Amino acid sequence: MATFGTAAAPNPNPNKSFEVAQPPSDSVSSLSFSPKANYLVATSWDNQVRCWEIMHSGAAVGSTPKASISLDQPVLCSTWKDDGTTVFSGGCDKQAKMWPLSGGQPMTVAMHDAPIKEIAWIPEMNLLATGSDMYWDTRQSNPVHTQQLPDRCYSLTVRHPLMVVGTADRNLVVFNLQNPQTEFKRITSPLKYQTRCVTAFPDQQGFLVGSIEGRVGVHHLDDSQQSKNFTFKCHRDGSEIYSVNSLNFHPAMARCLQPIPCSTFNNDGSIYAYAVCYDWSKGAENHNPAAPKPSIFLHLPQVDVWSAGILFYQMLFGKRPSGHDQTQERILREDTIIKARKVEFPSRPAVSNEAKVKTYLMAQDQTESLKEEDDEAARFGDRNLKIMHEPVDKKIKRLELTYFYKFKALHKALYVGNWDAVDRYLNHDMAALNAKVFRSGETALHIAVAKGHVHIVEEVGGANVGGGFRIRDGSGMTAMARASALGGTPMLECMHKKNKNLHTVPDPTGRIPFLVALEAGNKEAARYFYSVTPKENLIGDANDELDSSLISALILENNLGNEL
């Protein structure tokens, strides 16, 4: 049988990231960036701990191997000391090693009875935590404290004073490190299958948990915040489900050929490192020796300079630049911040300092000082310099049309009430669940309410566990406020079941849903809200303005019914 050539080899680097020089020869088990400088450490199944210096210049990233050590067995985890001078690692040899990068030999600082899967340095306590679950003073040979866990430690995250340990039996054990010898709370994972990773919120108020079922759970620790907990599906391709191995913000880029077992950001968030290799989740029998070699890639989060300028303006003045035929350059020039001798840019993780500086220089036509180092960077600067002098209102309109057009399939499915199509879209793009997918600022939930699709509200609200009901559209209205004016009792009961507090959330004018329904003439909704709204929310000494609005509405709607 004749063939027409051979299939093209799959691309091991579909996101066009920069590959680290001399990567490990076997699978990568952990990645850690230095908290002080751009030094990246990787542990791997070839018994090695390696360190690279990462150079970041403009749109390019380079790497130089700086040092490595060989241990007796595979190395599974790593962490840095907070001063950036020392690396700790743990592995299958049941030992935790301390490696001074100044050139000293690795020292054993902890011994376990089983392999060490997780390790974390706690600078506030000057202690090393190893799973499962011991605290070590590196100057002593015995642990400071040993904490009994319900099962093997699979994952560990620390953001002082919060520490969360995920164990083999789907328990999530929470510790307050101000009292590290006592469990603060023990939670059964909201996910049905084996835990793969946990990571604490930056504000220490909760954590994320990922599992082998391609799902992530969002969990808040405060009992009063439990309505904000939810789970979402990810890492899926049709019927194929992939494990969530590492939780960092994952860029929406092309899929890699092999799993991503670990990832990390550098200290200022400008470089994202991720490994691509077999993760051994399917055992040795499914390992393909002919598969591409393990790789470590470095990704630079891209921020359009024009977008950075708009964000910059919004951060400074709390509004988007506007005005007919006014260019961004003119708007920025006319504001005092541009005329100041010293320009201080507000902090925003999504915008790099480099992008902010470029925007500032472009606004002053000083691009010659940027000294682009390659053709690609020069084209980038030239393109964005032209954009700087384009009327802002026209550019915003074009960007909005581009942004909202991608939700076209979701729009159609929501309008006709096709839940299967909505579900397929959300499985493909989970971020669209709470995104403002219409120019008027409405979410999928707003549209489902407006169209009276109770079954879609039930499903979308279930995926959110009530979270999406708090989002306001462009006019400041929540989905419940919309339902108050338009919806019938089944819709309201569905929404109230998802979030018991929605009937007390006011609209932008201060009206609770009962009043919105009453003033809109939606008597069915008003009767329902009257039956579920506490009387203290309707009348009382503290509600004089509400009292007058209520009385006025009742006079206008005197045939509302005997219930009132």
Q: Each residue of 418-461: pLDDT tens digit?
A: 888 888 888 777 777 777 776 667 888 888 888 888 888 888 76
pLDDT of residue 461: 64
Q: Does one domain contain both 281 and 379?
A: no
Return d(Cα 514, Cα 534) in angstroms, integer: 11
State the pLDDT confidence band at 2, using cuts at 50, 70 and 90.
very low
Residue 327 DSSP one-character state: B
CB 11 within 8 A of CB 257: yes
What are the φ and ψ backbone dihedral angles of 321, each rounded to 5 degrees? -60, 140
CB 457 within 8 A of CB 468: no
pLDDT of residue 464: 52
Among the residue ranges 17-26, 31-40, 132-141, 265-274, the one predicted with the least confidence is: 265-274
| Residue 261: other Cβ atoms inside 10 A | 24
Res 306 pLDDT > 60: no
Cα dist from 137 to 110, 113, 121, 130, whole Å: 9, 18, 10, 11
Task: Average the pLDDT over 31-45 and give the result.
Answer: 93
Among the residue ranges 158-167, 200-209, 474-483, the one predicted with the least confidence is: 474-483
State the pLDDT confidence band at 405, using cuts at 50, 70 and 90.
low
Residue 32, in any domain of the structure = yes
Domain boundary, last residue among 299, 332, 361: 299
Among the residue ranges 86-90, 179-183, 323-327, 450-454, the one predicted with the least confidence is: 323-327
Q: Does one domain contain both 391 and 286?
A: no
pLDDT of residue 389: 53
Task: Average the pLDDT over 180-197 and give the result.
Answer: 92
Mean of the per-residue pLDDT values of the chain: 75
Q: Does one domain contain both 365 and 472?
A: no
State the pLDDT confidence band at 519, using cuts at 50, 70 and 90.
confident
Q: What percent of the chain lies above the pLDDT cut of 90?
A: 29
CATH number at residue 141: 2.130.10.10
Provide long-range contacts, Cβ within 8 A and 24+ apart, for 60-69: 60/18, 60/373, 60/374, 60/377, 61/18, 61/271, 61/298, 61/300, 62/18, 62/21, 63/18, 63/20, 63/21, 63/298, 64/21, 65/21, 65/22, 66/39, 66/101, 67/101, 67/103, 69/97, 69/99, 69/106
- Three-state helix/strand/coil letters over 28-70: EEEEEECCCCCEEEEEECCCEEEEEEEEEECCEEEEEEEEEEE
Q: Provide the domain count of the chain.
A: 3
pLDDT of residue 240: 86
Residue 324, in any domain of the structure = yes
Q: Which of the given ranges, 125-129, 224-228, 279-283, has the highest pLDDT on average?
A: 125-129
Q: Does one domain contain both 98 and 224?
A: yes
Sequence-separated (6 or more) residues with CB below 8 Å from residue 536:
none
Residue 357, in any domain of the structure = yes
Quote the tokens at residue 144. Answer: 């400071």
Characterize 151-186 residue by residue with b for buried, 16 or more Cβ atoms within 10 angstroms of its Cβ, and e for exposed. eebbbbbbbebbbbbbbeebbbbbbbbeebeebbee
Res 551 pLDDT > 90: no
Return d(Cα 470, Cα 452) in angstroms, integer: 19
Q: Does one domain contain both 73 and 135?
A: yes
State the pLDDT confidence band at 242, using cuts at 50, 70 and 90.
confident
Return d(Cα 260, Cα 249) in angstroms, integer: 13
Among the residue ranges 153-167, 395-409, 416-430, 474-488, the one predicted with the least confidence is: 395-409
Residue 378, in any domain of the structure = yes
Q: Does one domain contain both 384 and 439?
A: no
Residue type, 195: T
3-state helix, strand, coil in the chain (%, to 5): 30, 25, 45
Q: Does one domain contain both 260 and 326?
A: no
Residue 154, in any domain of the structure = yes
State the pLDDT confidence band at 561, using cuts at 50, 70 and 90.
very low
pLDDT of residue 371: 45
State the pLDDT confidence band at 143, using cuts at 50, 70 and 90.
very high
State the pLDDT confidence band at 384, using cuts at 50, 70 and 90.
low
Q: What percent of the chain lies above the pLDDT cut of 70?
A: 68
pLDDT of residue 343: 36
CATH number at residue 506: 1.25.40.20
Provide long-range contacts, Cβ within 8 A and 24+ apart, for 40-46: 40/264, 40/266, 40/273, 40/296, 41/78, 41/80, 41/87, 42/78, 42/275, 42/296, 43/75, 43/76, 43/77, 43/78, 43/89, 43/91, 44/74, 44/75, 44/294, 45/74, 45/75, 45/280, 46/74
Q: Does one domain contain both 446 and 541?
A: yes
Q: Which of the given ranges, 85-89, 253-257, 394-398, 413-417, has the highest pLDDT on average?
A: 85-89
Quote the tokens at residue 174. Answer: 């929470």
Residue 5, in any domain of the structure = no
Res 36 pLDDT > 90: no
| Residue 330: other Cβ atoms inside 10 A | 17
Return d(Cα 56, Cα 352) in angstroms, integer: 13
pLDDT of residue 407: 76
Which burial class, exposed, middle or buried, applies to 30 when counting CB atoms under 10 A from its CB (0-12, 13-18, 19+)?
buried
Return d(Cα 106, Cα 429) in angstroms, integer: 45
Return d(Cα 522, Cα 511) in angstroms, integer: 15
Q: Does one domain contain both 334 and 421?
A: no
Question: Does the pTM of the predicted model rise above 0.85?
Answer: no
Range of the domain at 485: 406-556
Q: Which of the given ranges, 45-54, 194-203, 234-243, has the highest pLDDT on average?
A: 45-54
Residue type, 521: G
CB 121 within 8 A of CB 82: yes
Among the residue ranges 88-92, 157-161, 285-289, 330-334, the one predicted with the least confidence is: 330-334
| Residue 527: other Cβ atoms inside 10 A | 17
Tell me the longest C-alpha to C-alpha distance in the chain.
Answer: 89
pLDDT of residue 375: 59
Sign of CA dihedral 254, 255, 257, 262: positive
Q: Does one domain contain both 188 and 265?
A: yes
Q: How far apart are the first and last CA of the chain?
A: 83
pLDDT of residue 163: 96
Which burial class, exposed, middle or buried, applies to 476 when counting CB atoms under 10 A from its CB (0-12, 13-18, 19+)?
exposed
* H/E stretch holding 15: none
Return d(Cα 402, Cα 279) in angstroms, integer: 38
Task: Average the pLDDT over 486-505 and give the result.
Answer: 73
3-state secondary structure of 382: helix
Task: Average the pLDDT over 493-520 and give the result.
Answer: 73
Domain boundary, last residue among 376, 401, 426: 401
CB 38 within 8 A of CB 268: no
- Higher pLDDT residue, 504 or 542? 504
Q: Does one domain contain both 145 and 180?
A: yes
Q: Does one domain contain both 323 and 444?
A: no
Return d(Cα 9, Cα 118) in angstroms, integer: 36
Res 166 pLDDT > 90: yes
What are the φ and ψ backbone dihedral angles of 91, each rounded to 5 degrees? -165, -155
Residue 8, in any domain of the structure = no
What are the φ and ψ backbone dihedral angles of 363, each rounded to 5 degrees? -60, -25
pLDDT of residue 513: 77
- Three-state helix/strand/coil letters over 140-176: CCCCCEECCCCCCEEEEEEECCEEEEEECCCEEEEEE
Task: Average the pLDDT over 174-181 and give the result.
Answer: 92
State the pLDDT confidence band at 125, using cuts at 50, 70 and 90.
very high
Task: Average the pLDDT over 73-100 and give the result.
Answer: 95
Torsion of CA 21, 26, 29, 30, to 10 degrees: -10
Residue 562, in any domain of the structure = no
Res 87 pLDDT > 90: yes
Quote the tokens at residue 284. Answer: 């040795």
Task: Average the pLDDT over 96-121 and give the result.
Answer: 92
State the pLDDT confidence band at 527, using cuts at 50, 70 and 90.
confident
Cα 412–chain centre separation? 28
Among the residue ranges 311-320, 345-354, 390-399, the one predicted with the least confidence is: 345-354
Task: Average the pLDDT over 88-112 and give the result.
Answer: 93
Sign of CA dihedral 359, 362, 364, 367: positive
Task: Average the pLDDT over 149-158 and give the result.
Answer: 93
- Structure confidence by residue, pLDDT tens digits, 318-341: 454 454 455 555 554 444 333 333
Domain boundary, last residue among 299, 333, 366: 299
Return d(Cα 96, Cα 118) in angstroms, integer: 10
